Amino acid sequence: MTATPPTIAHQTTPQTTSLLSYTSPATPLQTLEIWLPRPLSASSLETTVWIVYIHGGAWRDPELTSSQLEPTLRRLFPAFPSFEDAGSSRAVKHIAGFASLNYRLSPYKNHPTHPSDDRDESRNVTHPAHVGDIAKALEWLEREYNVTGNSGQTGGARGYEWVGVGHSCGATMLLQLVTSMGQANILSVCRPVALILLAGIYDLPVFLQNHSAPKVSTETQRVYTEIIEGAFGTDKRRWLSASPVAGDYSPETWSKGRMVVLAHSKEDELVEEEQVNRLVEVLERQGWGVGRQLLERELKGGHDFVWEDGEQVAALIEQVTLMLFE
């Protein structure tokens, strides 16, 4: 049983939460965590945003969860989880809260410690169920914490804007959310003002081609094929249609979008730099870089080091937040 969140009116102290369910009835993986650096009532709608984090894990790894954000929070708040030093970063004053989301997973029957079971509905889903869960979580955040609100889009009261941060397939899902890929009900979800995309997968067919023999061993090819087929099925036409490089990021589709940051490490051993290059080409063709900011940032370290260390992610959150307001 997950905890019931306090109403906004009762959020009077800085707080962290246990896992909260964003669906009814509650399910094991449709959950999230909330961190507030100050009472929500003390965060202005005009000068603060929420940070919404989507973890990676190849759409299937049960050991990567919403707790993936905690190393970043420790970098932003030296006394985390107490938030006693919340004023140590200039950017913190512009952050109303953090939400880190879990979502249902694709099968992983040969996981070394937590293999999936065919009877477990929460670990046997395919696209677009993962990104559909992200949309449900955002709808919950709107109801419970006034995140996103309608901001005038449908005549509703204004809410907090949000910045999406995604690692690996989490970055993929944020772009799928922005372009409503394969999920009609995502159209009702308010889009972020900015995205910070860390080591994302943006072209699924190319991703698989680059991890196929003879470029890699047959065992490595098997693993990557299993990942893509487990999350997107065996129809190769679906792989391209679900790829962020096939998306529409025009102002008509994403009117709120002001900034995209694409970050990648040359030391990344799991996702190749070509993924970034292909998305940059798409975004530039659609006018990004002129009026709407398109930034590339080079990271250091391996694929998981980026979130495990947290320092680089914290720095990017600080940079983007300050650029939005100062």
Q: In whole angstroms, what is the distance from residue 88 CA to residue 84 CA?
A: 9
- Domain coordinates of the chain in residue numbers? 15-325
Give the tens place of pLDDT for each residue, 151-164. 434 445 689 999 99
Give the tens place of pLDDT for each residue, 193-213. 999 999 999 999 999 999 999
Helices 169-178 and 129-145: angle between axes, nearest 10 degrees? 70
Q: What is the pTM of this model?
A: 0.93
Mean pLDDT of the chain: 90
Residues with catalytic annotation? 168, 268, 303
The topology (CATH level 3) of 15-325 is Rossmann fold (3.40.50)
Give the tens place of pLDDT for each residue, 88-116. 678 899 999 999 999 999 999 999 999 99
Give the tens place of pLDDT for each residue, 245-298. 999 999 998 999 999 999 999 999 999 999 999 999 999 999 999 989 999 999
Percent of the chain scoring above 90 in pLDDT: 81
Pick from 98, 101, 96: nearest CA to 22: 101
Quick one: three-class SS letters along 147-181? ECECCCCCCCCECEEEEEEEECHHHHHHHHHHCCC
